[in-house]
Amino acid sequence: MSASCCQHTPEPASGVDRNIRVVLWIALAINLGMFAVEIGASIVAGSSALQADALDFLGDAGNYGISLFVVIIASLNLIIDFDMIENGARMGAPKYMEWYGAFGLMVTLIWLYMEMLRLLSKVRRR
């Protein structure tokens, strides 16, 4: 009952989600760091091979960053879905609206699952 009150604060994210985010932020930071080191070394050495490798690290960091952004957006959509379901229940929406809420929640969960799989496959390839 108290969950529908205006004073309710949402439960914190599970440790698994937090751990995945931490690992991905670390991978992003390492890739950006390696990019900086290699670009500096390539300028000092005058090596175009090191510059190409540095650009590869920059591309990987961009990939991780974009994937992490999409996973965060999908996670935020879960909050929107649950809010829609909670508001519908509180306002006494018709019974058939349960299916709309369930379908929206299912689509968001599938989207989040697919994005996390895509992100993990990128991390594993590296």
Locate the domains of the chain by residue range: 17-125
pLDDT value of position 29 = 83
Q: Is the pLDDT of residue 16 over 60?
A: no
Q: Where are the alpha helices (DSSP H) in the chain?
A: 15-45, 48-91, 97-125
User: Distance of CA 67 to CAs 3, 30, 103, 119, 122, Å?
Assistant: 32, 16, 24, 6, 9
Q: Is the pLDDT of residue 117 over 80?
A: yes
Q: Is the pLDDT of residue 5 over 60?
A: no
What is the average pLDDT across 50-59? 81
| Buried-state track 101-124, b at ≥16 Cβ within 10 A, e below 16 | beebbeebeebbeebbeebeebee
CB atoms closer than 10 angstroms to residue 44: 9
pTM: 0.55
**Average pLDDT of the chain, as a whole number:** 78
